[in-house]
Structure 1
Amino acid sequence: MPAHCFTYGSLMCEDIMSAVCAARMASVPARLDGYRRSPVIDQEYPGMVPARGNRVEGVLYLDLPDTAWPRLDAFEGDEYSREEVGVLTADGRLLTAWTYVFKPALTARLGAGEWDFQRFLASGKARFTALYLGFDKLGD
């Protein structure tokens, strides 16, 4: 079982990931081939689905403690399934990791185009954290 987690949306922000997991982990830039990331309609966060010929840039958190996984599962909720994937790090290593994939039955909720992380940082993160105030208390 992998202990790494590939993130591609709000959890790319170390402060959000640390609050959700109640732990700080080392991280490296990484990418996941064969997927695309799209905005979820009327939300600040993205969904990721399999898509041949595409790739998603993200952050790979390394060696998560066992206590982080139930908290992450609760945070991601019913829209996502946790799946094992092969992730390529910026330094060329291929590592096995868990990631959260948007459920196929819900893909009609995905908007067109690529979810924009820089726009999220500039204008969406504050709204996101206000809406999800308390995610740092998951599992308590």
Structure 2
Amino acid sequence: MTAPAACFTYGSLMCEDIFRAVAGQACAAEPAHLAGYRRHPVRGEDYPGIRPAAGAAVDGVLYRGLSATALARLDAFEGTQYRRETVTVRTGSGALTPAWVYVFHPAQAHRLGRGDWDADAFLRHGKTRFLRRHRPTDRSDM
């Protein structure tokens, strides 16, 4: 099986400006849905983490055309609190697509809060704080 050239994002990287700065490239983006996972806020942070959860699902953004360099930059950005895994997501057209996703590392699960991470609150309040605290490598387009 060939490695995916797509990445499913569900938190701060759903913002195309943040994704582009972190990955170092612009990618085609579209809404997508990941079944079998639940998204939680990370305590003390503005970003979320996901973990497997039967019957749950996460909406996010799928970026296509990811280069090996972009993937390496994403790996470095996500760090050791996430594991990159291959999943299958459903796009808005209903197509099933293989993609990378960053799942919160089980050893870090105690850092996940209860409930769902609020993407609208992130855009209203958290994005500015996030950008101050977690400076992506290339901020020229932000």
Above 0.5 in TM-score? yes
Q: Which residue of 2 aligns with 1:111?
A: 113
Deviations 1:27-69 (A, max 9, x none): 1100100000000000000000000000000000011112101
Q: Which residue of 2 aligns with 1:61?
A: 63
Deviations 1:66-99 (A, max 9, x none): 2101100000001000000000001100000000
Pairwise CA distance, 1:136: 2.5
After TM superposition, the score normalised by the length of structure 1 is 0.95
Pairwise CA distance, 1:135: 3.1
Q: Which residue of 1 aligns with 2:94?
A: 92
Corresponding residue pairs, total = 137
Deviates more, 1:42-51 or 1:128-137: 128-137
RMSD across aligned positions (CA)? 0.9
- In the alignment, structure 2 segments of 5+ residues that lack a partner are none
Q: List aligned pairs for 1:13-52, cutoff 5 A.
A: 13-52=15-54
CA distance in 1, matches of 2:107, 2:79: 14
Ranges of 4+ aligned residues in structure 1 off by more than 4 Å = none
CA distance in 1, matches of 2:138, 2:22: 5
CA distance in 2, matches of 1:43, 1:14: 20
Pairwise CA distance, 1:134: 4.3
After TM superposition, the score normalised by the length of structure 2 is 0.94
Q: Which residue of 2 aligns with 1:7?
A: 9
Whichever residue aligns with residue 120 of structure 1, its letter is F
CA distance in 1, matches of 2:29, 2:126: 22
Instruction: Give the secondary structure class of the aligned counterpart of 2:117.
Output: coil
- In the alignment, structure 1 segments of 5+ residues that lack a partner are none
Q: List aligned pairs for 1:74-93, cutoff 5 A.
A: 74-93=76-95
